[in-house]
Chain A
């Protein structure tokens, strides 16, 4: 401070600093992809795929055949919802958005997605139970790119050791009987994820729906039966207490340790399952009285966000059609380890890999969380539901008390 600086230079430096700041602002306000025919932006929730992956190559290829350049960005799934909402608010949504299916109703509610009628997307080939998650008020807001869902992985070696015949496991009592045998053999029963987020609701729903419960009546007897099944497993030591904090990844790690007989997990673990150092098998989640329980569908939808320049929709439509038709859909779903949303492609998948049969069946029985015309009411129901699961499993409340409280919270949140 005591040394004098030549004034001219000081002002110059200050102005330079201001200029740099100003350019930075100018750059950030520039909206991406406004040139016609030039670049089309695609956002997806698959940051694990780099530019040299099959997935990105497929995207670029579709761009080339539509005569445009594709600018693709991969975001973390949970991050993408907020990013998409903010982009819509700023008026610079991507041309094509690939997003987790329960988010579709939220984005549609916000008025940020076009309907398939507006953009002439053909969804007639899609399985109705998968398409349901993207429908709201009789309109369809996107095309399912592929589906995954939940089933029970089991440790063959461990079950043989414990003397359990897996073919006898067809309903809740036979599953619990198997768990009792496993425990008697000194091993651990089943692991799942009951964490206090959407993931927890996702994992609980196959049991909830498998008992015949409805999301509009959380405190009905079937719902209580489902939660009692889980809390009894914890109380009897058939399921570890750590499920209350397990994500699906940590619950898989428990299963991979080889100590657990069963793990409720999804299609996306198939690649990891191949690396297990024991033999594994997969059965659908059994319903209370037998048969396959409807599991919630996971997986993404491809949608076309609303643009100021509606002339862009034609090319976006070409891109979406390219990604969801014929061989490309097979490539996409093989890359993502998903089950195709189209019956014909499902058959191709099973023909190529017979192991996928159980998943195709599970996906056929699955239903969308935001379906049954719940739409944006689903998130308001799901939060009380996972809270009730946590409350009952941690012993804070009985299943009946917890679900009654949940029903009250859901009713007041959705009314």
Chain B
């Protein structure tokens, strides 16, 4: 935002001088200059703009259009789906799955974010102290992030299998009754949250670690000279200076977590009976999970999800502006 504000007046000045000096010969030559390079600029911009339109704007437009029409398989193929206004949204909002899907989405996102961030921050602080082998260990922590999701999700579902899973075997060793991690309505959401936290920690670790490195060392030294303890240094130096990085980490994490689909689908298919269904898996199930697809409702749920993400982005922008003003 700040950059825009400073640039606008300058652009205006350039335009004014160009317009005022159009009669003067030297300025005339100068005026042709920018217009030629503007052509080049547009030409350079065209592929990106075309790409954005073809792969972002048009699909988004199609998705909105899908959600506003009553699509059957017949009208999807033959065309002529009647305009249905907000009927799809009304149907989705009044569906018995909606409240549980929304609640699951919120719980899934909030729990994932809190734990990913907290554990990521603790690990970042830990690795910030540079000890022998810290680089190797830090690299190892990246593994969950590097693994394809299908691999990590399948691994988790084996670990948590009720019959042959390692987790239940370990629990049995300490005398705890086996838990039906993936197959009981009480635990399925917890299980997918645990797996998602594990996957998200490396991202938080890496970003927060680089944020920590950007904090000038002399501040800590000065604080230490003033007699500040470990907690005080964290509370009064690290935490406030890390705030912008924390905010963007949380925002990216939020957008990423809201749309998590593959992990849940592979581990539980959103079940048993909707107990781990989020808006993302529900949207997929409506659109593709049945022999008879319901594109309209599927698209409507997808759009609600986009609205949630946009609202979160708005919150972030508001937060950033407040930061800038203060």
Contacts and interface: CB of A to CB of B under 8 A. Distances in A.
A320 interface: no
Interface string B64-86: 00000000111011100000000
A196 B269 contact: yes
Given A7-B40, A11-B40, A110-B73, A379 B46 contact: no
A196 B43 CA distance: 51
Contact of B290 (A14, A112, A383): A383
Contacts of A106: 73, 291-292
Given A10-B44, A14-B40, A109-B73, A82 B293 contact: yes
A352 interface: no
Contacts of B291: 81, 102-103, 106, 198, 378-379, 382
Contacts of B290: 198, 379, 382-383
Given A242-B163, A387-B273, A394-B185, A18 B47 contact: yes
A89 B76 CA distance: 7
Interface residues of B, number: 40
A30 to B, nearest CB: 17
B269 A89 contact: no
A390 B271 contact: yes
A245 B159 CA distance: 13
Contact of A110 (B77, B183, B185, B270): B77
Contacts of A257: 164
A196 B182 CA distance: 12
A15 interface: yes
Nearest to A79: B288
Interface string B20-52: 000000000000000011011001101100110
A378 B290 CA distance: 10
Given A240-B163, A391-B272, A7 B77 contact: no
B232 interface: no
B249 interface: no
A244 B272 contact: yes
A85 B40 contact: no
A217 B39 CA distance: 69
B280 to A, nearest CB: 16
B273 A390 contact: yes
A7 B37 contact: yes
B76 A396 contact: no
Interface residues of A, number: 47
Interface in B299-326: none
Which of A18, A88, A244 has the most C-beta atoms of chain B within 10 angstroms of its own C-beta? A244
Which of A85, A88, A107, A394 has the most C-beta atoms of chain B within 10 angstroms of its own C-beta? A394
Contact of B182 (A18, A81, A245): A245
A231 to B, nearest CB: 12
Interface in A312-331: none
Interface in B176-227: 180, 182-185
A183 interface: no
B289 interface: yes
Interface string A216-250: 00000000000000000000000011101100000
A395 interface: yes
B8 to A, nearest CB: 20
A372 to B, nearest CB: 16
A391 B185 CA distance: 9
Nearest to B183: A244
Interface string B264-296: 000011111111000000000000111111000
Contact of B269 (A78, A111, A195, A382): A195
Contact of B292 (A240, A242, A376, A395): A376
A393 interface: yes
Nearest to A191: B163
B76 A85 contact: yes
B278 to A, nearest CB: 14
B118 to A, nearest CB: 30
A396 B273 contact: yes
Interface string B138-173: 000000000000000000010001111000000000
8 contacts: A17-B47, A85-B76, A198-B290, A242-B164, A242-B183, A254-B164, A390-B271, A396-B273
Which 8 pairs show the lowest CB-CB distances between chains A and B?
A14-B43, A379-B292, A244-B183, A196-B271, A379-B291, A394-B272, A110-B73, A390-B272
